[in-house]
Amino acid sequence: MEKHINHLIEHIRDLKNMDRVRLAAELREFTYHAKKVLFNQIPGVSAIVGLVVGSWVAGTFTSSPLRGFLSSHGFMKGGTHVVSSTTYSFLSVFLPVLAIAVTAYVVQKAMKAYREKKLQRNMAHVPQLKEEVQAELWAKRDILDKAKEAGLLSESEHRTKMAALYQSYFRSDLSKIEEVIINKIEG
């Protein structure tokens, strides 16, 4: 353990003597890994809802009359409402799964409406682009339209790709943060 601590201290001392280019490269690498760990470890909204529902079931119901009696009188933590084993199995497995599915569906519908609104807003800004950029955008849009007509893309996929296409021409730092948050919400 001491060997690792000494190595870490030595690495920190090296940072003081590092040139700016190497320091910037180290900071980029650190930021990449920190972002990867932080944002890939955070569960999506539907997963959190499933955990909350599962926790609620475990804290409210039990299949053991003895546990229910002890919990209702404060001798144990856990469910106070006694239900049959079958009902408890249903509540503890299928109810959280159902909550996850419904939440995922609602989130997808909300994100679809949000993307559509954002697409309309970005489409309104196209005249502000230079002519050659507009031509590039129209060419890419035509490719997407042809892919949809050929049956390679569904209507939903087409709209999502259109939103991403327009977003790429009107991206700001705020929209990058917004994109990270949306990806986490969608799970």
What does the pLDDT look like over 66-79, one tens digit per residue? 666 666 666 666 66
Dump pLDDT digits (tens) for 53-112: 877 777 676 656 666 666 666 666 666 666 677 877 777 778 888 888 888 888 888 888
- What's the whole-number mean pLDDT along residues 153-175? 78
Element housing 82 (H / E): strand 81-82
For residue 93, the one-letter residue type is: V
Q: What pLDDT was estimated at residue 161?
A: 86
- Output the six-digit token pair for 81: 């409402």
In contact, 184 and 44? CB cutoff 8 Å:
yes
Rg, C-alpha atoms of the chain: 26
Q: What is the pTM of this model?
A: 0.54
Model confidence band, residue 174 (pLDDT cutoffs 50, 70, 90): low
pLDDT in tens, 108-125: 888 888 888 888 888 888
Give the position of tokens 């959190």: 48
> Using CA atoms, how far apart are residues 8 and 72, in angstroms rounded to an integer?
53
Alpha-helical (H) ranges within 18-94 are 20-41, 45-60, 65-72, 85-89
